Amino acid sequence: MRHVITLLVENEFGVLARIASLFSGRGFNIECLSVAETLDPTVSTMTIVTRGDDQIIEQVLKQLNKLIPVIKVVDLIDKDFVEREMVLVKVSATEKTREEILRITDIFRGKVIDVGSKTYTIEVTGDEKKIDALLSLLKPLGIKELVRTGRVAMARGSKAITELT
């Protein structure tokens, strides 16, 4: 089963390497990972998407907690949460497809952020399903390049991760 885990970690050298090496060393899989500083510059937040049965996920959570620079670990699967990722797509744009691309972009509440002589580059934000749906529509039109950020996630409601248990 897919789990979205958010963590607070010390914003210091080598933390990402520690986490990555924990996953590779113990054979846990990592689907995507994103890191960024929080309001407090000494702390970063990480979102990790991983898969595994209950026993594996229990180990993943415990092993993450065991790392010294990891301050807090929350498995969002037990919570109601929102998740988003952003994608940049460079699509071939011809006389025939320009209109179609703009329409699709519009429906997905995306933006065209760059126009080349033969391409549009569009930006769309959403959850995994929305991004996948967008890509499946754009694919037949010719995707030249695509970059996804990986997911960021947050529990719904007024509690911050520091207050969650």
Residues contributing to the site for another protein (CB under 8 A) = 9-10, 13-14, 17-18, 21, 25, 55, 58-59, 62-63, 65-71
- Shortest Å, Cβ 143 to another protein: 37
- Shortest Å, Cβ 56 to another protein: 10
Cβ closer to another protein: 18 or 148? Answer: 18
Compute φ and ψ for 41, nearest 5 degrees: -65, -10
Distance CA 45, CA 79 (A): 18
Cβ closer to another protein: 1 or 20? Answer: 20
Number of Cβ within a 10 Å radius of residue 149: 14
- Shortest Å, Cβ 18 to another protein: 6
Type of residue found at 133: A
- Shortest Å, Cβ 72 to another protein: 8
- The answer for residues whose C-beta is within 8 angstroms of residue 143's C-beta and 6 or more apart is 89, 90, 91, 92, 135
Cβ closer to another protein: 19 or 141? Answer: 19
- The answer for residues whose C-beta is within 8 angstroms of residue 60's C-beta and 6 or more apart is 3, 5, 23, 28, 50, 52
Cβ closer to another protein: 13 or 117? Answer: 13
